[in-house]
Each structure stands twice: as structure tokens, then as C-alpha cells.
């Protein structure tokens, strides 16, 4: 009996093993790496053990001591892993611009045995405390600088958390903008998607197939084709402006592309199926006799809709809104192609740090902030919509 | 199912799994990665096909949009699936310092003095030199803009303008428009006041300034009349004039030149073939063919000397054009790209 | 003069070429329980849908209290509708479901509470008022639907196979409950069913439908004892049919010569002349069985099967040229298959119709 039970449990465990492995390898593990990446700060520490000791007593304002300079030369001579050196330079340059060229020059100088003991002879920049502060600040194995920088904060000289100076970074603005654009797109998807889903669910046969295909089409179309289509439609000499002008509805072309309007139109277009399909599938599960029942009980068709069909289909709206919002938050190519200068979303900043500058720590930190805010919004959303969603369960 | 049958089947399955797992992956052919579009079409005709014919091998192609992080992660992942990659100047310098490229064997390529200075490095050899500059449609402006100062002249040339999104080139063009001399440009840019001055100049264009990211976009913007003028790559302009009969003009004064290079990714399994390909592409004859197909500057001085004058006048490396150009300061951008991009994004977001 | 609550005058409903209801004339008396009985596709549900306002009549007029209602939308017809699948609102509690029609009519909250409680008491569900429909059994759900259809005191209640989804025992209980409610509240109820025993149990009158037409409309007793047509005779209960022709009349009874041979004496119907081909119908419970032949109406038969059914014994018989069936008391003699016996019945238990 117990053996059989155990057997069944084992079999059940084996059945979900692929799922568990998949989630572990492709979700939990990368997430762990991302978290580690965003707080780990050992690129400098590993390579500069002597400098770490020499810099310990330094007051961060005086010119660098000879001991510090000699220690750095010794450390750089001992470093033999090119890639590790590259990581260190990248880390230092992101704290202090100019480190790249300084280090290139310094590294080729220390390769010659006659160089030393003073680095200030190699490049006068080594006399500036700023370059040494960059090293001193990079010697803790863990750091919160990336996470702070992701939300436009830093530690000031006293070690307190403070805002970055104006104009230095715009992550906070871009985060807010990202969530705002996602919310606006979600709103328009509901506005257009709900009636569309109603229409589709109420239709039959070929009409239903055509309606479903029409809404799915953008998902099957390549980004380039879609962008070209939007361009043709939305530009100043485009179809929409041409039509409105010829109708006399407007006297000069409306700016529909390379601005927020273009971004919202394009994203609503692409994400509409994610709204329509969940609502549509929920509508299909609602018994067809509820609306007649409501009208027979004295409800005007509009009130019947508000009291019966709408609350019952809200489940679909909720999951559709969630899908659209979450997907929209991650968009960056579409806003880049049809948006204006002020429509950049946070994913493009993350892409900049990962593909352009290989600053994985910064990219990870921004990713984590994005994830955390999204999770918080999700919890709030579930709390707010919880009652409706329970009520809506059939 | 009997136990015996089950065991036999299990045996067969595991044998198959072992067989699959131990079969060495089929050797990949030499993979060359360019930047796509008309340029890569020209490279295919001038370089890849003749090389494959000569060597009797196959050449695979891929294309990318740049980004140092892409290369860095490919190399640190182990065996990269690209061999020979066309990189921008900063990627060449960064990657060479980080050791993510193979060192080149210049014996195979030829004497270094035969090449332009920007085309010679331990890790790479020049692929092409391109210019980024002002472009406009001469059918719209018969008396078109002649400098970056004209780009900022909204009275004389009303309409929108487009620049490449990002601080690189943008800051150079803004300061040139503001009257900074070419030879003092990077000196000014090295000071915080210089950068402030550039952003202030950008403010002047207000809502008339829009941004592009992909190289095909400025052409599209010009063609549709969406913008009055734009920054663009010289090769794209010449190409669309040739292919579609447009009358676009590329303004040479104040153009910024930059040289792309061929590099071999560290750990490439086709290192020898890639080296041979680099040597082939650095010969004068294929380079002349390349210049006939697309108007980018040639790394080989010998090749440049062989190009007919009517083609040469459109090349960024033509002495007359070069005299009006600013070479992109790679060191400056290596040091400052990250911080200026941050500032640029903040500036955009605040507008 | 009879007070007609609802009148259908020449009502026709077509779907494409299909005439589902064909030129129907039907008067529904105030306070009566009228069942619309028929096989599926006979048009009975369509009539209900037209009464409720869910479908429009293609032709003809529907009157309620003398007013034409064809153009009045469903929500202003003030008719309670009970659906086969209950059609309760799953997102509302039992109390909210029952309160719904009152809320739609703008009734005050205090009055809503009082009337909901009364309605739930009436169907004995006051204890479950805070549950959701999914937490109730089928019978309980149908009671809620009933309370919801009655709480706003409609003049007419339309029921579309309301008990069809319930099991037999529950169905029979609900039949009695609805009948009792009808008697107590004096409602006009139009009840659609395909279950003849349900119609017999509950109705004041039954309209038997076939192919969009009414075959017969009458009290359950008349429908059962004196079916007008072969369709009604066969659809309502079980019956033995014997074909023959009127041979003559004798002592107030008619004589029928059966096609299978033999002569029957039956209750006379003056409208049938001699020589007219007829069907003699006898309900199985009226068929007597005996070893010895009877004096009249004796048909020699062989027992083919004898089935014990609890409250009665069902005896399958093979007579000359036709099968017969009899229902006998289960305490009577067991009839073993193969036994040669005689079936008989009283002349007044045999009803003659045209074939």
C-alpha cells in the first residue's frame, strides 16, 4: 500500500520533472545570475590586491601616494587575464570617464620594465584623486551602486543615498514613461478589444473566422512589414492625413508618427490580440441564456449588459489587461521606430547597457528594478481586481 | 509490454542517445558578418563570392547592427558561431584591449604602409571608411544647405530635421553648427562647457528635430518628405540615387569619417580561413570592385590609386572630401560614450 | 364569458423555408396552467420565446389582456421566465439573483429584502440566501430560478422544460411544488415540456403539438381518455391500437370488425357511420387477462413476456396479427411466457378514433 503510494508520487514527480527543469534552467537560474550581476562588484578587487592594501589609509582628497602608485603598477604587471582586465577597465570607466584610454596607455607603459615607480609620469591624469576614488569605491565585493543608479540615486561622499544631479540620468523618468505608455496602450486595447471580442463571440461561421484572423494578423506579420505599413498610414503625406485633408476635416496634417500618438497606435495594434483572445474565450463560456434571462426579469439590454455580461467577462478583461500591460512594458523596438525622442522606453536603456557597452551590472540592475516594480503593480492589481475575479468565477 | 521487450527498447534508445551525443557537431563553414543592406550586397559581389570561388569553399553570411556587448557575450559563451565580423572603430579598440579578437597575421595581409593608418591594428584591418554627413533632396531644395549651420537655419530651410539617436555624431554636428572649428572640435568636446554648448545648440531646433536609429530610416524620411534634411551615411545616399534615381545630395563639408574593420572572434573554429578571407579582401583588385558597387572609402592605398576619378570623387577617402572631414575621435568616444549616452537620454527625457 | 389572458392569433414563425409554428390560434385563460406538450421540434419552445419577446412572430398577433404586445421589448413584458438550464447569474448570490428583477424595477432596498425573503421562504431556500448558484444542487438552483421569476409578481410565468435537467424523484417533487404554488398564487403559467406524465400531473389544460400545429387542446383527463388523433393517443401514455371498420350498432354500442379477425363491442361515437375505417384504442391498464375466454371482446393471445415493474406487472402479448400489452396487479397470477390465454376489456374502456 505505502509502496504503491510512493510509486504514484514518484511517477507524478517524474511527470512534472521536465517542467521543473525548464523553469529552473530558463527562469530561476538566469534570474539568480541577474540578481548576482547587479550587486556583485569584484572585477577590480580580484586584480588589485596590493592596491587594495595601499589605498586603505588614503583620505580620498590628497594626491595619490607613491605606495599606491607602486602597488597599482605591481598589480597591473601581475594581471595576465586579458578579459579580466577588460572587465576591470569597463567597471572603472563606468564610474569615471576617461579610464579606457588611461588604462590602455598605462597598461602598455607598465609592460616595459623601466616604467615606475610613479604613474603620474605615465599620464598626468593619475595625479587626480578622481581616478583613485574610482578604484577605492570598487573594492567592496558587493555594491548597491547599480541598483541605486537604476533609479537615479547614488551614494554621496558621506556614504548617504542621494539623488543624482539634474540632467545626469533619466531612468526614473523613463521608468514612469514606460509604465504610463503601457497603461495607455492597455486602456486603448480594452476600449477597442472588448467590443471586438463581443462581436466575434456573437458571430458564427465564416464571419467569426475572418474577425479572428484579422485581429491575429499583426502577430504573424514581421516587424519591418508592420513598421512600413504604419509609416504609409501615419506619415504627414500618409493615407490617414490624406483622407482627413481631402475630407476637409483638418487643414494641416496631424502629427501621427514619431511621437507618442504613433507609439500608442502601433503598440495598440500589435497587442490587441492579447486583449481580444482572453475576453473572447471567456465570453464563449458564458451561457447564452443569461442575457435573455436578465431582460425577461425587467433589465433594459444595456443594464443587462452592465449587470450580467460585463461582470462575468471581467475575468477576460483582467487577464487581457495583464497580458497587454506586461508585454507593453518590455517594448522598445516599436517605440524606437515610430516614436519620437521622448518615447524611449526602459528596455531600450537596458539594451543599450547590454548590447552596446557590455555593462551587464547596470543592465541587470535596471532589469531587476523593472521586475520589482512590475511585481508590485501586479500585486496591487490583483488586490484591486481580486473581488471581481473571484465573483466572475463560474 | 513484456519486460524483455522493454529492456531491449530501452537499450536501443540509450544507444541512440549516446550516438547523438558523441557525434561531433558538423564543422561550420566560415561565417562572415556584415551590417546587411546595400553594403553587404556589395561585399558579397566584391569579396565573399570571389573568395569562395578561389578557395573552393563555402562562405556563410550573417548580419548585425553593432553593439560591443553582443560580441563580448558571444566570445565569453565559448566557441562563437561567427568568425569574421565587420566592427566599428570603438568595438575594434575595446575588443582588442579585452582580448576578444584573435591577433592578425600581417605577413599574410601585406605591408602595413600600404594601408591607411585607421585601417591598421593588431586585431583588425580596415573594411571600409564611411562618412556621416548632411543629406537633402535637391528636388526640394535646388539651392540646398551647405553646412551644419544651414542645418540649424530653420528660416531658410523650414521643416523637420533628423539625426541619429545618441550622442555620437550629434554632439559633433551641433558644435560644428555653432561655429567650432574642425580641428578644435574634440578639444571643445572634452570640456563640460563644450558639452553644455552642444546640448544648448540642439535645443534650438526644438520640436523640428526627430531621431532615427536604423540606417535605412533617413533615406525613407527624405524620400517621403517627412524631413527637410537629415544626417545619413554617404554610401546609402549614393546607393539610393543610383538604384531609385533620386536626386539626394550628400554635403561633404563637416562630414565625420569612421573606419570599420574586419576582426576574427577569439576561439573561432575557422581562424585560418578567416585570416585568408581578410588577406583576400585587403587586395587592391577586390577593393576596386567594391568601390564600383558602393561609395565607401577603401583601406588600401594601392586600391585607392586604382579607382577611376568619377568614382573616387564620391568616396570619403578621396583627398578632396577628406580635406573637409572630421575623423571620428575613437578615444574620446571610448571614454565618454556611456556617460554621454546617459546624459543624452536624460536630456531627451526632459524635453 | 371566458377571461382570456393571452391570445395568439394566426401566429406563424418561419426560419428560412421552415415553418416552425404554422398559423397558430391559441387562447390562454387567466389563471390556468397550460402545458405545451410535444416532441422536440414541434414548435412549442418557439411559442414560448415569442411570448417572452426573445423572438418575433413572422406573422400574426399576440395579445395580453387585450393589448397587442408584438412590439413590446422583452424587458417591458413583465413575464417571469424559467429556463431549463436555470440561467442563474453565477456572479451573484442566491439573494442577489432573486433581488435582480426588483432592483431593475427600482424597488426600495428594504422592500427588496422583505420580498426576497418571502420568495425564498416560499421555495424553502431562505437558509441558503448567501450561497452562490454553483454551491447549490440542481433542484435548489431551479427553486432559486422559480423564486426569481415569481418575486416581481408577474401576471404570466413561462417555463421552458424547467425540470428537464433534474433526476426523476426530484422532478416529481418539483412538479407537485410548482402545482401547489400555481394554485396558491393564481398565476397564469405556460409550461413547455416533452414529458407527457409531467404534463398530465401539472396541467389544467394540455396543448399537444405536432409539426407546428396543435393536435388537441383539452384537460389531461380528456387528452388521456379521449385522444383526438392517433398521434395524441400514442404520445400520451401507452395504448393498444387495433385497426378495423364499423360493422354496425347494437344496444347503444358500436361493433367493430377487426382486420385481424374477431368482433369488438365498443362505446359508440355517433359521428362514425357503418363501414368507416377506425382505430380502437385501449389503455393497457384496462386490459383484463383470463384463462377462459370472456363473453365479449375476447382476444386469444399468447404471453410473450411478463415483466415485474414494482407497482405492476407488464404483460406482453401476441394476438392474431398484432401485439398487445396489459398492465396487471403484481399480486395477480404470474403469467408465464408461452401460456395461451385470453385478453378482454369493457366496451366503455375502448375509445374509437379515425386512423
Which residues of A fall within a CB distance of 8 Å from C85?
287, 289
B227: closest chain A residue by CA: A236
Confidence band for B4, pLDDT divided at 50, 70 and 90: very low
**B294/B300 Cα distance (integer angstroms):** 16
The domain spans of chain B are 30-129+259-326, 131-257+328-350
Percent of chain C predicted with pLDDT > 70: 99
For chain C, what is the mean pLDDT?
A: 90
pLDDT at B26: 58
- What does DSSP say about strands B248-264 and B84-87: parallel, antiparallel, or unpaired? antiparallel
Q: C90 with C96: CB under 8 angstroms? A: no
Q: Which residue has the cell 471581467?
A: A314
Looking at domain C4-234, what is its CATH homologous superfamily? P-loop containing nucleotide triphosphate hydrolases (3.40.50.300)
pLDDT at A236: 81
Q: B331 with B190: CB under 8 angstroms? A: no
Segment of A43-52, B174-183, C274-283, C315-324 carrying the highest mean pLDDT: B174-183
Nearest to C344 by CA among C292, C308, C268, C274: C292
pLDDT at C332: 65
pLDDT at A79: 87
Instruction: Please state, in angstroms and as integers, the Cα–Cα distance from residue B234 to each residue in B140, B160, B257, C47, following that order.
Output: 19, 20, 10, 79
Q: Residue B196: pLDDT above 70? A: yes
pLDDT at A394: 38
Which residues of B fall within a CB distance of 8 Å from A93?
334-335, 338
Question: Inter-chain contact B343–A236, Cβ cutoff 8 Å?
Answer: no
Higher pLDDT, B160 or B13: B160
Which residues does chain A have with pLDDT short of 70?
A: 1-2, 386-394
Read out DSSP for C218-234?
A: E-HHHHHHS-SSHHHHH
B287-318 burial: b if 16+ Cβ within 10 Å, else e: bbebbebbbbbbbbebbbeebeeeebebbbbb
**B222/B276 Cα distance (integer angstroms):** 40
Per CATH, B30-129+259-326 and B131-257+328-350 having the same topology is answered yes
**B147/B168 Cα distance (integer angstroms):** 18
Percent of chain B predicted with pLDDT > 90: 65
Percent of chain B predicted with pLDDT > 70: 92
Q: Residue B13: pLDDT above 60? A: no
Residues of chain A with CATH 1.10.3720.10: 171-391
Question: Inter-chain contact A292–C54, Cβ cutoff 8 Å?
Answer: yes
**In the structure, how many helices (H) and strands (E) does chain B have?**
18, 9
In terms of pTM, does the model score above 0.90? Answer: no
Nearest to B351 by CA among B200, B232, B198: B200
**A343/A263 Cα distance (integer angstroms):** 8
* The three cell numbers locating residue C126: 431562505
Confidence band for B21, pLDDT divided at 50, 70 and 90: very low
Q: Domain C239-353 is of which CATH architecture?
A: Beta Barrel (2.40)
Instruction: Please state, in angstroms and as integers, the Cα–Cα distance from residue B190 to each residue in B129, B196, B324, B331, B335, following that order.
Output: 25, 11, 22, 11, 10
The domain spans of chain C are 4-234, 239-353
Q: pLDDT, tens digit, for every residue of B147-191?
A: 999 999 999 999 999 999 889 999 999 999 999 999 999 999 999
CA of A259, closest CA in chain B: separation in Å? 9
pLDDT at A2: 67
pLDDT at A387: 53
Q: Choosing among B103, B335, B337, which should be mutated to test the A contact, i.e. which has the most A CBs within 10 A?
A: B335
- What does DSSP say about strands C188-193 and C33-37: parallel, antiparallel, or unpaired? parallel
Question: Inter-chain contact C134–A290, Cβ cutoff 8 Å?
Answer: no
What backbone torsions phi and psi does residue C177 show, to the nearest 5 degrees?
-60, -45
Portion 270-329 of B in contact with A at CB < 8 A: none
- What does DSSP say about strands C340-344 and C240-250: parallel, antiparallel, or unpaired? unpaired
Q: Which residue has the cell 554621454?
A: B340
What is the radius of gyration, based on Cα positions, of chain A?
29
Question: B131-257+328-350 belongs to which CATH class?
Answer: alpha beta
Question: Inter-chain contact C105–A394, Cβ cutoff 8 Å?
Answer: no
Question: Inter-chain contact A342–B342, Cβ cutoff 8 Å?
Answer: no
Question: Inter-chain contact B335–A98, Cβ cutoff 8 Å?
Answer: yes
Q: What is the mean pLDDT of residues B126-133?
A: 94
**Number of A:B CB contacts under 8 A?**
124
Which of helix, strand or coil describes residue A235?
A: coil
- Write down the ipTM of this complex: 0.84
Question: Do B and A share at least 3 CB pairs under 8 Å?
Answer: yes
Confidence band for B271, pLDDT divided at 50, 70 and 90: very high
Q: Domain A171-391 is of which CATH architecture?
A: Orthogonal Bundle (1.10)
What CATH number was assigned to the domain covering residues B30-129+259-326?
Answer: 3.40.190.10
Question: Inter-chain contact C100–A300, Cβ cutoff 8 Å?
Answer: no
At how many degrees (to 10) do helices A310-329 and A171-202 cross?
140
At how many degrees (to 10) do helices A260-285 and A205-220 cross?
140
Q: C347 with C267: CB under 8 angstroms? A: yes
A117-130 burial: b if 16+ Cβ within 10 Å, else e: eebeebbebbebee
pLDDT at C2: 60
pLDDT at A368: 94
Least confident piece of the model among A29-38, B149-158, B214-223, B283-292: B214-223
pLDDT at A226: 84
Amino acid at each position: 500500500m505505502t509502496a504503491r503510494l510512493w510509486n504514484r508520487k514518484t511517477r507524478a514527480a517524474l511527470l512534472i520533472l521536465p517542467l521543473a527543469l525548464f523553469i529552473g534552467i530558463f527562469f530561476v537560474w538566469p534570474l539568480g545570475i541577474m540578481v548576482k550581476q547587479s550587486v556583485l562588484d569584484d572585477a577590480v578587487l580580484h586584480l588589485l590586491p596590493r592596491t587594495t592594501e595601499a589605498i586603505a589609509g588614503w583620505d580620498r582628497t590628497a594626491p595619490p601616494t607613491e605606495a599606491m602608485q607602486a602597488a597599482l603598477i605591481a598589480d597591473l604587471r601581475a594581471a595576465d587575464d586579458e578579459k579580466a582586465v577588460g572587465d576591470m577597465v569597463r567597471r572603472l570607466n563606468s564610474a569615471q570617464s576617461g579610464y579606457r584610454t588611461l588604462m590602455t596607455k598605462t597598461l602598455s607603459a607598465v609592460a616595459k620594465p623601466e616604467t615606475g615607480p610613479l604613474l603620474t609620469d605615465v599620464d598626468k591624469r593619475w595625479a587626480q584623486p578622481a581616478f583613485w576614488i574610482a578604484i577605492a569605491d570598487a573594492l567592496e565585493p558587493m555594491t548597491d551602486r547599480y541598483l541605486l543608479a537604476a533609479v537615479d540615486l547614488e551614494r554621496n561622499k558621506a556614504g548617504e543615498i542621494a539623488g543624482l544631479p539634474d540632467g545626469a540620468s533619466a531612468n526614473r523618468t523613463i521608468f514612469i514613461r514606460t509604465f504610463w505608455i503601457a497603461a495607455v496602450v492597455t486602456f486603448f486595447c480594452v476600449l477597442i478589444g472588448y467590443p471586438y471580442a463581443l462581436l466575434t463571440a456573437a458571430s458564427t461561421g465564416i464571419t467569426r473566422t475572418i474577425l479572428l484572423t484579422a485581429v491575429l494578423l499583426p502577430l504573424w506579420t514581421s516587424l519591418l512589414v508592420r513598421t512600413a505599413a504604419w509609416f504609409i498610414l501615419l506619415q504627414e503625406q500618409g493615407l490617414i492625413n490624406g483622407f482627413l485633408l481631402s475630407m476637409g476635416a483638418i487643414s494641416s496634417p496631424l502629427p501621427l508618427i514619431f511621437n507618442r500618438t504613433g507609439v500608442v497606435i502601433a503598440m495598440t495594434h500589435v497587442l490587441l490580440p492579447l486583449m481580444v483572445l482572453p475576453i473572447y474565450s471567456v465570453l464563449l463560456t458564458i451561457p447564452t441564456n443569461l442575457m435573455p434571462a436578465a431582460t425577461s426579469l425587467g433589465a433594459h439590454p444595456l443594464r443587462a449588459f452592465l449587470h450580467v455580461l460585463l461582470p462575468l467577462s471581467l475575468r477576460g478583461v483582467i487577464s487581457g489587461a495583464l497580458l497587454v500591460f506586461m508585454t507593453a512594458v518590455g517594448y522598445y523596438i516599436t517605440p524606437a521606430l515610430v516614436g519620437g525622442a521622448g518615447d524611449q522606453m526602459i528596455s531600450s536603456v537596458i539594451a543599450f547597457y547590454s548590447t552596446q557597452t557590455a555593462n551587464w551590472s547596470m543592465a541587470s540592475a535596471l532589469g531587476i528594478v523593472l521586475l520589482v516594480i512590475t511585481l508590485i503593480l501586479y500585486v496591487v492589481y490583483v488586490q484591486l481586481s481580486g473581488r471581481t475575479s473571484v465573483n466572475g468565477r463560474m | 509490454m513484456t519486460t524483455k521487450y522493454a529492456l531491449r527498447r530501452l537499450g536501443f534508445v540509450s544507444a541512440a542517445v549516446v550516438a547523438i551525443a558523441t557525434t561531433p557537431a558538423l564543422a561550420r563553414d566560415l561565417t562572415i558578418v556584415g551590417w546587411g543592406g546595400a553594403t553587404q550586397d556589395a561585399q558579397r559581389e566584391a569579396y565573399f563570392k570571389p573568395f569562395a570561388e578561389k578557395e573552393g569553399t563555402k562562405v556563410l553570411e550573417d548580419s548585425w547592427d553593432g553593439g560591443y556587448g553582443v560580441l563580448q557575450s558571444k566570445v565569453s559563451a565559448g566557441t562563437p558561431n561567427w568568425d569574421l565580423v565587420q566592427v566599428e572603430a570603438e568595438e575594434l579598440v575595446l575588443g582588442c584591449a579585452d582580448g576578444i579578437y584573435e591577433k592578425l597575421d600581417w605577413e599574410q595581409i601585406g605591408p602595413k604602409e600600404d594601408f591607411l593608418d585607421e585601417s591598421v591594428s593588431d586585431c583588425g584591418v580596415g573594411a571600409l571608411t564611411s562618412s556621416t554627413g548632411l543629406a537633402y533632396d535637391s528636388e526640394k531644395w535646388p539651392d540646398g544647405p551647405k553646412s551644419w549651420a544651414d542645418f540649424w537655419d530653420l528660416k531658410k530651410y523650414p521643416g523637420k530635421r533628423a539625426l541619429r539617436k545618441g550622442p555620437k555624431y550629434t554632439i559633433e554636428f551641433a558644435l560644428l553648427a555653432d561655429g567650432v572649428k574642425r580641428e578644435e572640435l574634440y578639444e571643445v568636446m572634452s570640456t563640460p562647457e563644450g558639452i553644455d554648448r552642444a546640448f544648448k545648440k540642439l535645443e534650438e531646433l526644438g520640436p523640428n528635430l526627430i531621431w532615427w536609429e536604423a540606417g535605412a530610416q533617413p533615406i525613407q524620411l527624405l524620400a517621403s518628405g517627412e524631413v527637410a534634411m537629415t544626417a545619413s551615411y554617404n554610401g546609402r545616399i549614393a546607393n539610393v540615387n543610383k538604384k531609385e534615381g533620386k536626386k539626394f545630395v550628400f554635403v561633404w563639408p563637416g562630414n565625420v569619417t569612421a573606419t570599420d574593420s574586419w576582426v576574427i572572434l577569439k576561439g573561432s573554429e575557422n581562424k585560418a580561413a578567416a585570416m585568408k578571407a581578410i588577406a583576400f579582401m585587403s587586395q587592391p583588385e577586390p577593393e576596386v570592385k567594391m568601390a564600383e558597387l558602393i561609395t565607401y572609402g577603401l583601406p588600401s592605398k594601392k586600391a585607392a590609386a586604382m579607382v577611376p576619378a568619377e568614382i573616387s570623387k564620391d568616396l570619403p577617402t578621396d583627398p578632396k572630401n577628406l580635406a573637409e572631414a572630421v575623423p571620428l575621435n575613437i578615444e574620446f568616444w571610448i571614454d565618454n560614450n556611456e556617460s554621454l549616452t546617459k546624459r543624452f537620454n536624460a536630456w531627451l527625457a526632459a524635453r | 364569458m371566458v377571461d382570456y389572458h393571452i391570445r395568439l392569433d394566426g401566429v406563424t414563425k418561419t426560419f428560412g423555408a421552415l415553418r416552425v409554428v404554422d398559423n397558430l390560434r391559441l387562447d390562454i385563460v387567466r389563471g390556468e396552467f397550460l402545458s405545451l406538450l410535444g416532441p422536440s421540434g414541434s414548435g412549442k419552445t418557439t411559442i414560448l420565446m415569442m411570448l417572452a419577446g426573445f423572438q418575433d412572430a413572422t406573422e400574426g398577433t399576440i395579445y395580453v389582456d387585450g393589448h397587442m404586445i408584438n412590439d413590446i421589448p422583452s424587458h417591458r413584458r413583465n413575464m417571469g421566465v424559467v429556463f431549463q438550464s436555470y440561467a442563474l447569474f453565477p456572479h451573484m448570490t442566491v439573494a442577489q439573483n432573486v433581488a435582480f428583477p426588483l432592483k431593475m424595477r427600482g424597488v426600495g432596498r428594504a422592500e427588496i429584502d422583505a420580498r426576497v425573503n418571502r420568495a425564498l421562504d416560499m421555495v424553502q431556500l431562505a437558509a441558503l440566501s448567501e450561497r452562490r448558484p454553483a454551491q447549490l444542487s440542481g433542484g435548489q438552483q431551479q427553486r432559486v430560478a422559480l423564486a426569481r421569476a415569481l418575486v416581481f409578481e408577474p401576471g404570466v410565468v413561462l417555463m421552458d422544460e424547467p425540470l428537464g435537467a433534474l433526476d426523476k424523484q426530484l422532478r416529481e417533487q418539483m412538479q407537485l411544488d410548482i402545482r401547489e404554488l400555481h394554485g396558491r398564487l393564481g398565476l397564469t403559467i405556460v409550461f413547455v415540456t416533452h414529458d407527457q406524465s409531467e404534463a398530465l400531473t401539472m396541467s389544467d389544460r394540455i396543448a399537444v403539438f405536432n409539426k407546428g400545429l396543435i393536435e388537441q387542446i383539452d384537460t389531461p383527463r380528456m387528452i388521456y381518455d379521449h385522444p383526438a388523433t392517433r398521434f395524441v393517443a400514442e404520445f400520451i401514455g401507452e395504448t393498444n391500437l387495433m385497426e378495423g371498420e364499423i360493422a354496425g350498432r347494437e344496444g347503444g354500442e358500436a361493433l367493430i370488425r377487426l382486420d385481424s379477425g374477431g368482433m369488438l363491442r365498443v362505446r359508440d361515437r355517433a359521428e362514425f357511420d357503418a363501414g368507416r375505417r377506425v382505430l380502437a384504442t385501449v389503455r393497457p391498464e384496462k386490459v383484463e387477462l383470463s384463462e377462459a375466454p370472456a363473453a365479449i371482446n375476447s382476444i386469444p393471445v399468447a404471453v410473450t413476456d411478463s415483466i415485474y415493474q414494482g407497482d405492476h406487472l407488464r404483460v406482453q402479448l401476441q394476438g392474431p396479427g398484432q401485439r398487445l400489452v396489459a398492465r396487471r396487479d403484481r399480486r395477480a397470477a404470474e403469467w408465464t411466457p408461452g401460456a395461451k390465454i385470453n385478453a378482454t376489456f369493457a366496451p366503455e374502456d375502448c375509445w374509437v378514433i379515425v386512423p
